[in-house]
Structure 1
Amino acid sequence: MLRRQLLMTPVAGLVAGCARTDGARFGGLEHAWRARAAAREGGLTVYANTGDAEIEPVVSAFHAEHPKVRVDFQRQNSAELYQRYLAERRAGKPSADLVWSSAMDLQIKLINDGYAQTFDTPARAMLPPWTIWKSQGFGVTAEPIVFVYDRRRLPDARAPRSHAALRQMLEAGQLKGSVGLFDTGRSGVGFLYYSQDRQAWADTLALTRAIGKTRPHLYESTFTLLEAVTAQQILLGYNVIGSYALERQQEDPNLGLIFPEDYTLVMSRIAFISAAARRPNAAKLFLDFLLSVKGQRLLAERNLTPVRNDVAGGVGKAPGASARPIEVGPSLLANLDQMRRRRLVADWREALGPDHVDDYRRVRDSLVTGNRP
């Protein structure tokens, strides 16, 4: 777990600090009142699995507007975040004021189980309906799930542009190299994307069988999967978080990226205010900032595609015609039904076949591991 405390020196006068917030933009008098209350609280604790590079510009800009509000940003992977928050709450211990994670189903479970509080954000009017549940869970990003590939071995002109094209090329033996994908049995986001694939496309199992013939490598993080592509250990990565792929592509132009033309899953990092938040006003102020035009633009600069309707799309926004958003809502709870989960994982393992011996553990040991989902 990476723990990072970001502190700013208070400047003279709360009035000057409030003037910089441009309160009319964010809700007028109510926002100004919340900013004063947050300053009295002094800060907030955020549990998240978003990387430092993506969040630090946002936190810095937030501090510039609210210098008396300290952000204790504690990064961990999605499973650790869920287990830690739940254990602390059950034990009655201090925990996060704001919880923000890409594990959409786990976030919805916490909200459904009463761990979140209602929040009426002024940004609501500019958010798509699929990004909000019960006025408690808010999707902050709209990130496409993509294919990535090694351009040195697979020219752009030959790269498959859809799930159907990928299946056809694999079955015809036209892709010479292994495919990498999340381990559906071990990765929360991997299971989420696989279950969404099953809903979106009737031939998902057939594609999984075709992938199985490549002796695929299995992963638990986007970071290690992208490392494997750039290290030429695999030819193509399937169902990769687009924001991280775009970031890596800027560093390595040999990494190709595809938004599938038949459908592109779009996931969102869900945030909620803890029902037991010790500093609820600071948490609401920070969530307001994440959902504000300025906050969304800053996220877009780090390839975390904005979710607001009135903010221009970040780099790599999925085309509207093919975008299939994963709705923030109770349908995600089905993923946590253990009988359903075991059945889907068993189907996936059977389709992948017994020959995928190059599993994520051996691959992971040969790479510099990361903490990204």
Structure 2
Amino acid sequence: MRRGLAILMLGGLSLIADADPPPGDTHQQASTLIIHGALDKPYMRPLLADFRQQHPTLEVDYRNRDTLPLYRDFLAAPDEADVVISSAMPWQYRLANDGYAQPLKTPSAQQWPAWARWRQELFAFTFEPIVMVVHRELLERYSRPDNHAELLALLRQQREPLTGRVVTYDPRLSGAGYTYAIEESRLSPRYWDLVAALGDVETSLAATTGEMLDGLAEGRYWIGYNLLGSYARQFVAANPDLEMIIPDDYTLVIQRLAFMPRQAPHPDNARRFLDYLISRRGQAVIAGETSLGAIHPDLSGPGTAAAWRTTHGDALRPLTIGPGLLATLDELKRQALLSRWQREFKRDDSQSREAVSGSNE
């Protein structure tokens, strides 16, 4: 096995993490489907296994990459993937807007909710709130922060005991963290007060939700801020020392976006899989076997967007799939936001570190 290549075989299914393409011309394999995705393997496995039940002769090659390398790799070789999946919504929108995506012309695509797609080319297929996670030590000693105002008050009132006990994304290292920062700065006039309070307690900065969850489980942190809820939900369910909090004032919601490249090497298989992701069957797998949150309008039970809206209503703030996402990628605006973030946080560039491996989520 080539160094750095991790493969899980399930029948005709290959799950490959951060790998180079295997030897040989895969473009000539008519029964192949190549998916490049920023979605961890445990969450993709149920979908890919069910899809192969419908297409048992199809060889599925899933390559799991970080969000930003996924974007850069696609630009370098736009003819290698049949389907591209990522939670980095601005980068996915840019690719579609720049003409790299081809339309999906199926009944499912035409009936897909308008808020969850762009034209017929870019499709959201998950509904994932951004949450807080707290350790039982915090709940035993202090009050539970149910929203951003209560978190801000807690950080200010308990500054000394919480110093070094909080963790959040570093927006300089994480595409997800930067996206959340720019969205919150638009949503809340108190956002910069919260950033300052996070800096005052010497909040640790991480590149991934997984990194934050590990630190919370070990008891190093008592508060994790802005974690990806789909990843946190399963982790917290298996760890009685942790609790997930959905802020009741506003909760950002991100969606995984998928598209078929115009140069997809196996376009028929690409259409089959993208249509499956937004089909009732595929969405039922998402609702029942993952924590990603299904969008399909016919599904309303646990694990669906409809259920989230029933329990949390107007607090949910899904990111809009549209031209506004491009503003997130404007370099001047990006530098302006990061400069202010560092100024409010009071942490200089020497504190930054190289991005760690992981999903950048």
Output the TM-score relative to the length of structure 2: 0.86
Matched, 1:53 2:37: no
Correspondence for 1:348 among 331, 335, 341? 341
1: CA distance, partners of 2:152 / 2:166:
12
Matched, 1:306 2:294: yes
Secondary structure in 2 aligned to 1:238?
strand
Partner in structure 1 of residue 254 of structure 2? 267
Correspondence for 1:173 among 158, 169, 176? 158
1:165-209 alpha-carbon deviations (Å, 9 max, x no partner): 111221222783232111111110100011110111111001110
- For residue 295 of structure 2, what is the amino acid of its counterpart? V
Q: CA deviation at 1:344?
A: 0.5
Q: Show the 5 A alignment for 1:184-199.
A: 184-199=171-186
- For residue 75 of structure 1, what is the amino acid of its counterpart? N
CA RMSD of aligned residues (A): 2.5
Distance 1:268 1:62, change over 3 A: same
8 Å CA contact retained: 1:243, 1:305: yes
2: CA distance, partners of 1:355 / 1:258:
30
1: CA distance, partners of 2:171 / 2:275:
34
2: CA distance, partners of 1:209 / 1:123:
46
Partner in structure 2 of residue 36 of structure 1? none
Matched, 1:334 2:317: no
Distance 1:155 1:280, change over 3 A: farther
Partner in structure 2 of residue 114 of structure 1? 99
Q: How many residues align?
A: 335
Query: Which 10-residue stretch deviates more, 119-128 or 302-311?
Result: 119-128
Partner in structure 2 of residue 287 of structure 1? 274
8 Å CA contact retained: 1:141, 1:269: yes
Q: Show the 5 A alignment for 1:186-265.
A: 186-265=173-252
- For residue 80 of structure 2, what is the amino acid of its counterpart? S
- For residue 82 of structure 1, what is the amino acid of its counterpart? Y
8 Å CA contact retained: 2:104, 2:275: no
1:122-170 alpha-carbon deviations (Å, 9 max, x no partner): 2246533221112111011010000111113324982101111111221
Distance 1:278 1:320, change over 3 A: same
2: CA distance, partners of 1:332 / 1:2:
33
Structure 2 alignment gaps of length 5 or more = 14-28
1: CA distance, partners of 2:12 / 2:241:
43
8 Å CA contact retained: 2:134, 2:243: yes
Structure 1 alignment gaps of length 5 or more = 11-39
Output the TM-score relative to the length of structure 1: 0.83
8 Å CA contact retained: 2:126, 2:292: yes
1:259-285 alpha-carbon deviations (Å, 9 max, x no partner): 110011110010000010111111111
Distance 1:46 1:3, change over 3 A: farther
8 Å CA contact retained: 2:33, 2:269: yes
Distance 1:260 1:322, change over 3 A: same
- For residue 61 of structure 1, what is the amino acid of its counterpart? D
- For residue 230 of structure 1, what is the amino acid of its counterpart? A
Matched, 1:148 2:137: no
Matched, 1:323 2:311: no
Secondary structure in 2 aligned to 1:153?
helix
8 Å CA contact retained: 1:297, 1:311: yes
